[in-house]
Structure 1
Amino acid sequence: MSRNQIDLVDVVALILVPFMGAIALGTIGMQVNVFGNFAFSDVLWSASSVELTAAALLSIAGTVWIVATNEIDGSSYENYELVILAVTLGIVPAYVLIPAVRAFAGIDAISFILAMVQSGGAILVSYVE
């Protein structure tokens, strides 16, 4: 929508992406005990080695929302912005779909770095475009 400022339509997604991305990557955990026990890291669907959680779905949906709202105005991305966009979009799906990435992100420092890269990438895409 507007260049070099945070778009108001992205604010909810900019809250969800870092928070849910960190939960999906196993960096932090959150459980709600209002109507029974519900954790955002509970597996909703599992097949083979793929484990889909609510946090992963919300993180991916938030990132797609940011990209979609910034594509409405037809802006063109620089090459470095496309790389940041691809990494930001790919972190959680790679964690969910690729067992080697999940094992590598099992290291606490790596999980933290991946969560920070995803958070920063989402904010940068929203801010720049």
Structure 2
Amino acid sequence: MSAKPKAAKPPGKPAGDPADHRARILAAVRAIPAGRVAGYGEVARRAGLPGRARWVARILSAGGEPGLPWHRVLRSDGRIAFPPGSEGYDEQVQRLRAEGVQVEGGRVRGQRAAASLDELLWAPPRRPAGTGAGTRRRR
């Protein structure tokens, strides 16, 4: 009889002190400069906890950290996670705009949350402005 292959283990809690993980996430949020944004997943990666975007969301939703720039953290596609028209949504839009961030329809314009390592490695290369299809040279 052959042994059954082991099923892949779902990601559990990473080893280490949960208080340390929380402190690392809060430090990563504090490190986002004014006028810039980062996605939940990017904050987790910067904290050394890749794949823990939901932890970031859970910690930020708990609140209680005076001066924490929670408003600089968005979904990976640049959208605000709060439902439109909610108190949290309105406050986040107001705080971002006060820092000079352009917000339209609940989405930050003009900048993206930082790319993931997969996006950096596997995305097609960007063409310099003025090259590619649809550009013509005037004579």
In terms of fraction of residues, the more helix-rich structure is: 1
Give the TM bin, normalised by the shorter chain: under 0.3
> Which structure is larger by alpha-carbon Rg, 1 or 2?
2
* Relative contact order higher in (CA < 8 Å, ≥ 6 apart): 1
